Amino acid sequence: MAKLTKEQRENFKKEYGEDKLKWLEIPTDDMNTDYMEVLACIPTRAVMSQYMKYIDVNPKKAQEILIKQCVLTDKETIMVDDALFMTAVSMLAELIPIREGRIKKF
């Protein structure tokens, strides 16, 4: 678990809002017996716009945008390890706030 001081916690809460912060438990081994916890924020509309701009032409860049903008702790560790990177990308994608809508006849 990323060790955060009380001051760091308060700064993150102030900058992102407590309801926008999530702890991600990312497995560090193939047996899913050991995990690292990283703090992340829910992707904003601006981050999603940057991400979508590159998703079809340069997926690697799009994924890096998601990690660099949303992962708040241990970012360097995630960036250098392919398994941690891909897992974090998929977990961040699950955080994208999409509601289930309904379509009705006119």
Q: What is the pLDDT of residue 79?
A: 97
For the segment 53-89, what is each residue's pLDDT rounded down to a tens digit?
A: 999 999 999 999 999 999 999 999 999 999 999 999 9
Q: What is the pTM of this model?
A: 0.86
Q: What is the pLDDT of residue 98?
A: 87
What CA–CA distance (Å, rounded) separates 11 from 32? 31
Asked if 2 and 73 count as a contact pair (C-beta separation under 8 A), the reply is yes
What are 46's two structure tokens? 């601006």
Q: What is the DSSP letter of 41?
A: E
Asked if 37 and 91 count as a contact pair (C-beta separation under 8 A), the reply is no
